[in-house]
Amino acid sequence: MKVEAIGKETIKPSSPTPNDLRTVKLSVYDQFLPPVYTVSVLFFSNSCRHDQTQREGPMFSEHDTSLKLKSSLSETLTRFYPLSGRINDGGDAIDCNDEGAVFVDARSDSTLLDFLKSPDFAALQRFLPLDTVENPYESAATWPLLLVKATYFKCGGLAIGICISHKIADAASISMFVRGWAATARGDSDSATYPEFTAAKFFPPASESTRFSGKITLDRKICATKRFVFDGSKIAELRRKVASGDVAEPTRVESITGLLWKCVVTASNSVSEKLLSKVLNQPVNLRGKVPSLLSENVMGNVMYSSMPLMIDGQGEVEIQDAVKDLRRKADELKRFIRDDGGSSLIGTKMVDLILSNISGLSYETHEPYSVSSWCKLPLYEADFGWGSPAWVTGNVAPALDNLMILIDSKDGAGVEAWVTLPEQVMLSFEQNAELLAFACPNPTVSV
């Protein structure tokens, strides 16, 4: 499949950012995150259109659709104004200077249906505008903070790839932005999102003294990223299997995380003789959990990172034990929030706990993994005026090692897992019989 850029433009807010909003502080949590982009790709097909009487011919006129996307993005940036700015030299704030976001138009020589037959990760990257920046790591930490790519398939379908610097956006943030932009595009002002850039009022604000001084390099392990899909019936079966007296009704995410963790540990043990402890990090979205301090519209990285699972050396994992530990950590967080009573210092206390969790970790003694759940984020509600997406996917780019992303299938019952592991570990992982009893490797996306 070939994707060729046919145009590139800088989109600025339709109205200048007021002087009193020209600086947005980053939180210390934002500052510590690696310089990558939080990314999502939304695919729209002819069958998505509202007018079902006209199904023949291209759904999207390149010229008209591009104008609509660009003009609505310009309007949306007046509300999401930091995305047009750049992170300052100190790395502790965003200068909201309206420099703009990058927008790329592109064409694919494939049809959408052909691509969705087997949507591999390498091909998926072609719908992201990362090739417009010289170094994605430097760009994610400086500027541009927002990049967009609209790719038109020869069948008339459309892919919209969105990259927002992880320094200012977690998964919930990119969902908020996408739905806000879509509402503006379809002219639905009542549904327009008004974000709050107040993460640094919850977590301690970043400062030059807390700036991460290390450098991210490209000398990383050779990794593979693959997609595994759990349909609703298989998830129900898995939940029944992992239920226990300690966790009588495990959630979808708990059950799938427990299974993936067991299979990852087994695969890692099979290819490595190093006696490294394996640690699983699980970021938790805090929006709605501390309602007195955090609304659902807070933009930024509003997460609590816990280390719920750890296995020593060549130890093995029992799924029920993993699910029990996941539930125990979730209950501990609830009690912590409840006992704190929503005081203004709770964010500081959480950062202290996060730092305490990671202070004893070292790459020489520990093998870190992360699982991030995007489940229940309403990305399929992103209607730009031509209906909901046929398929939505998300990740971070450039892809991080040892990362698992969980995202809802379109029916809301299934879950897609994008798993990134070292190549040799992946070869063992993807052949695990217990995994394959519940998950299907990269099935065709139904449109």
Q: What is the DSSP string of 83-99?
A: GGSEE-TTSSEEE----
Alpha carbon distance 239, 73 (integer Å):
41
- Residues 203, 315 within the same domain: no
- 248 belongs to a structural domain: yes
- Residues 83, 154 within the same domain: yes
Active site residue 63: no
Alpha carbon distance 111, 420 (integer Å):
27
DSSP-derived secondary structure for 108-160: ESS-HHHHHTS--HHHHGGGSGGGGSS-HHHHHHSS-SEEEEEEE-TTS-EEE
- 384 belongs to a structural domain: no
Give the residues across from 418 on adjacent strands.
227, 405
Which backbone phi and psi does 381 adopt, to 5 degrees? -90, 5
- Residues 148, 266 within the same domain: no
Give the residues across from 37 on adjacent strands.
165, 397
What SS3 class is residue 286? coil
- 392 belongs to a structural domain: no
Among the options 166, 170, 325, 408, which is catalytic? 166
Alpha carbon distance 126, 424 (integer Å):
25
Say how many C-beta atoms besides its own lie within 10 A of residue 333's C-beta: 18
Domain final residue, candidates 178, 210, 242: 210
Say how many C-beta atoms besides its own lie within 10 A of residue 397's C-beta: 19
Active site residue 20: no
- Residues 300, 172 within the same domain: no
- Residues 201, 331 within the same domain: no
The reported pTM is: 0.94
Residue range of the domain that includes 84: 3-210
- 386 belongs to a structural domain: no
- Residues 266, 368 within the same domain: yes
8 Å CB contact between 358 and 304: no
| pLDDT tens series, the chain, 447 aa | 999 999 999 999 999 999 999 999 999 999 989 899 999 999 999 764 444 434 444 466 899 999 999 999 999 999 999 999 999 999 999 999 999 999 999 999 999 999 999 999 999 999 999 999 989 998 999 899 999 999 999 989 999 999 999 999 999 999 999 999 999 999 998 888 899 999 999 999 998 666 654 444 444 578 999 999 999 999 999 999 999 999 999 999 999 999 999 999 999 999 977 788 999 999 999 998 998 889 999 999 999 998 888 888 788 999 999 999 999 999 999 999 998 877 889 999 999 988 888 777 877 888 999 999 999 999 999 999 999 999 999 999 999 999 999 999 999 999 999 999 999 999 999 999 999 999 999 999 988
Domain final residue, candidates 183, 210, 237: 210
Domain final residue, candidates 179, 210, 241: 210
- 318 belongs to a structural domain: yes
Q: For residue 97, what is the domain's CATH number?
A: 3.30.559.10
- 216 belongs to a structural domain: no
* Residue type, position 81, single letter: Y
Alpha carbon distance 323, 240 (integer Å):
12
- 389 belongs to a structural domain: no
On the CB side of 368, how many CA atoms lie within 13 Å of its CA?
Answer: 15
What SS3 class is residue 221? coil
- Residues 247, 162 within the same domain: no
- 77 belongs to a structural domain: yes
Query: How many structural domains is the chain composed of?
Result: 2
